[in-house]
Structure 1
């Protein structure tokens, strides 16, 4: 029996017209991320932390089912497209609903079995913090101004709440709403640097590389063999830990002297960019012995921000 292709099916077969933007489906994103974290925890030197983060992500999945954010209006979309700038820069567009999501996450973590005792005072501090102080902390987390140990401890929880809100807002967009940004190395929706990139499998996206936003979970297409930090096509190379497979590599650039990890679903169909980045700290340790600095942090492991990326032309 012949099957009649619908318009969406035809587009999926068109390899000359790659999908530019992959907007998130929050519940699916968080479910896949939690499962991957639990899978990668077995035998991992930071397995306990990965299991704890999986608990956070499961709480995100629950919160995502109830959160309601407002999509940007036509004027915001037109302005961003006219100036090739991100649609809703994260630090300047924090929806107040994020505070409700934070409380939901704290409630879930209070009942979780594997919350480190050392973190419990941080959870209590976040619960009792004034609304204005929480908003100030959220902005500092988003721009990377974390200097105190208390801020570093709170940052993954704050970022988890913000991710739920930003992902929900991004999910309400259409691809045509999202501007082409200049530079193309930040998220076109919220202006956040990518945490990592991923080579996707299946349909229209098969074999294509997408940068993955660490805040709103949007992905945007960037060709392979191109630096995701400075967009150079010269001196891009790949490194891995001896004895490991090729699922996660460090993509290095000889021009800006940075690296960012790339996960490959062709090697492992369950690869998930943020989870795989977090689970491969051994690769970061290897890279710390080289001349390459990490281009951006993992939002659920803010300690990495101590390795600030150099200037592009350093």
Structure 2
């Protein structure tokens, strides 16, 4: 006679076979991401932008070192476990420490050799901006209510938020993270994944994880399943010459979206956010298809300017502002 496994038994088996959750390794995450960006910049059509983002990531790494340990609300963890909902939705749990992170990052970037001169006024404006205005910008970005005036500062603000949310996630225990629905959003901060990644090494080897663009937590999702609508129908993969099979676009005919898959089996150094950013040519290819990108890269903002007609999408490079 077959026996139905209870949820606790399923979780125990899950942890034996492979990790359901991969919490961020804050000691190395930003340093490795910056190194990967510099590697990917070589010969890339958007090399200048990739190198600019590498400087932002360097500043993230530095700011993290001076950030005090976060306070984790035990009541929020218990509530999330009880109701199978994300632990701390980013838009509702802004830690004031992100202002300190942003100031530290801007101070470093403002003195960085080789940073485009056109960025200095923007950096100065952000440094002088009242915290209340910064909070309003952050809230809009986290809720994807992006105004045209926010786009230039978006990568800086999102980078600062990412440091704080990533540090918070890193101090969790895997057992703190609930099973949530839908599985297409981060179970820690309720943000969307920037890409999915096929991991190598250890118990995660060969498994696909969705990589959160806000807190860098990864959670398992089976292959050949849409990471946006969770359909198993109409899934196909498209690539572009020159990227090999390291980065492909997973398309879904059910919801009409695509999200990139970064394959460490093809390149062990592949990193979800960095490789997503550096494969802009694939996004340009996909713009000629009916499929729409499921979510943005937090350091390369695609915004809908207020003055543009609906559907007129603009890619804005803050370095050109």
- Compute the TM-score of the two structures, normalised by the length of structure 2: 0.88
Structure 2: gaps (5+ residues): 1-13, 312-321
Structure 1: gaps (5+ residues): 1-13, 309-314
Q: Deviations over 1:233-262 (max 9, x none)?
A: 111110001343000000000100100001
Aligned residues: 294
* Contact 1:249-1:262 at 8 Å conserved across structures: yes
TM-superposed deviation, 1:72:
2.5
Q: For residue 312 of structure 1, what is the aligned residue in structure 2?
A: none
* 2: CA distance, partners of 1:105 / 1:15: 37
Q: For residue 285 of structure 1, what is the aligned residue in structure 2?
A: 284
Q: For residue 61 of structure 1, what is the aligned residue in structure 2?
A: 61
TM-superposed deviation, 1:46:
0.6
* 2: CA distance, partners of 1:261 / 1:112: 32
Q: Deviations over 1:80-135 (max 9, x none)?
A: 11111110000110100100000000011011123222222111110000011111
Q: For residue 237 of structure 1, what is the aligned residue in structure 2?
A: 236
TM-superposed deviation, 1:190:
0.2
TM-superposed deviation, 1:73:
2.6
Q: For residue 214 of structure 1, what is the aligned residue in structure 2?
A: 213
Q: Does 1:165 align with 2:168?
A: no
Distance 1:39 1:243, change over 3 A: closer
* 1: CA distance, partners of 2:61 / 2:173: 22
Q: How does 1:1-314 map to 2 (within 5 A)?
A: 17-148=17-148, 150-303=149-302
* 1: CA distance, partners of 2:16 / 2:223: 15
Q: Deviations over 1:49-102 (max 9, x none)?
A: 100100010111111112124342322111111111110000110100100000
- Compute the TM-score of the two structures, normalised by the length of structure 1: 0.90
* 2: CA distance, partners of 1:282 / 1:65: 34
- Counterpart secondary structure, 1:186: coil
- Counterpart secondary structure, 1:263: strand
Distance 1:71 1:181, change over 3 A: farther
* 1: CA distance, partners of 2:91 / 2:113: 33
* Contact 2:226-2:252 at 8 Å conserved across structures: yes
TM-superposed deviation, 1:282:
0.4
* 2: CA distance, partners of 1:209 / 1:305: 31
- Counterpart secondary structure, 1:26: coil
* 2: CA distance, partners of 1:133 / 1:195: 26
* Contact 2:151-2:303 at 8 Å conserved across structures: no
Q: Deviations over 1:260-283 (max 9, x none)?
A: 001000100000000000000000
Q: Deviations over 1:26-54 (max 9, x none)?
A: 23110111011000111111100100100
Q: Deviations over 1:184-229 (max 9, x none)?
A: 1000000000000101110111011000000000000001000000
Q: For residue 8 of structure 1, what is the aligned residue in structure 2?
A: none
* Contact 1:69-1:95 at 8 Å conserved across structures: no
* 1: CA distance, partners of 2:234 / 2:304: 24
* 2: CA distance, partners of 1:216 / 1:305: 24
